[in-house]
């Protein structure tokens, strides 16, 4: 079962600030990884299956957020992501997680359905790839990217992709950009100190 499946990192958690896996992540439930399905892997290489899953999740998030660009849309997008992961698992693009799962798994998939599943991406748009590959944006303290009022155009970590926006939304009404930037640079400087403290010198 899933224990031997190739794994990929969760496309939402890998884009959270500091890449922390969130126990309430609608995609991985805090495990931080997705297990690729044997059905799709019997037809395509792991990199293709992994990308197909990511494109599908990106498209599902984009459609849900486009339907309702509000806080209610966010709730819809999170629900749509849960359903999408269950769909991908049912058709063999993803494998069931080896430990106890919360999403339903139907092991009755036929040998042909994985092929349909890898083509589950009629929703995929060429821009999805660019958005998924884009690096996060860091803002200056004086910039106000979240000033639009409704849904922020970026995730909390500054990612443009819709998966990150759905799973890691910035609070548009929360602290201003300056507060965020200062808090983040404080964490980064503490992290550097911590990393230096645990470094074992290679040559004395
Ligand atoms: Zn996750």
Strands (E), 13-152: 33-35
In angstroms, what is the span from residue 51 Cα to ligand 1's centroid? 16
Query: What is the average pLDDT across 32-49?
Result: 90
Q: What is the pLDDT of residues 174-190, one digit of tens each?
A: 677 888 888 889 998 99
Long-range contacts of 62-71 (CB under 8 A, 24+ apart): 62/123, 62/125, 62/128, 62/162, 63/123, 64/166, 65/151, 65/162, 65/165, 65/166, 69/150, 69/151, 70/150, 70/151, 71/151
User: In angstroms, what is the span from residue 157 Cα to ligand 1's centroid?
Assistant: 14
pLDDT digits (tens, 9 = 90+) for 53-101: 999 999 999 988 887 777 788 899 999 999 999 989 988 899 987 765 5
pTM of the model: 0.81
What separation in Å is there between the alpha carbon of 150 and the centre of ligand 1? Answer: 24
């Amino acid at each position: 079962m899933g224990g031997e499946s190739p794994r990929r990192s969760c496309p939402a958690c890998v884009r959270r600030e500091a890449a922390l896996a969130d126990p309430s992540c609608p995609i991985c439930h805090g495990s931080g990884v997705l297990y690729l399905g044997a059905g799709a892997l019997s037809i395509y290489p792991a990199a293709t299956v992994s990308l197909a899953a990511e494109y599908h999740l990106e498209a599902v998030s984009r459609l849900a957020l486009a339907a309702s660009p509000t806080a209610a849309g966010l709730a819809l997008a999170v629900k749509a992501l849960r359903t999408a992961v269950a769909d991908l698992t049912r058709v063999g693009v993803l494998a069931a997680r080896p430990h106890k799962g919360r999403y339903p798994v139907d092991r009755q998939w036929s040998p042909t359905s994985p092929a349909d599943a890898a083509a589950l991406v009629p929703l995929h748009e060429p821009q999805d790839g660019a958005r998924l590959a884009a690096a996060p944006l860091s803002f200056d303290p004086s910039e106000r990217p979240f000033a639009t009022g409704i849904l922020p155009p970026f995730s909390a970590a500054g990612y443009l992709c819709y998966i990150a926006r759905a799973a890691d939304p910035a609070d548009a009404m929360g602290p201003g950009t300056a507060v965020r930037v200062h808090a983040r640079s404080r964490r980064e400087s503490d992290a550097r100190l911590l990393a230096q403290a645990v470094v074992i010198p290679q040559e004395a």
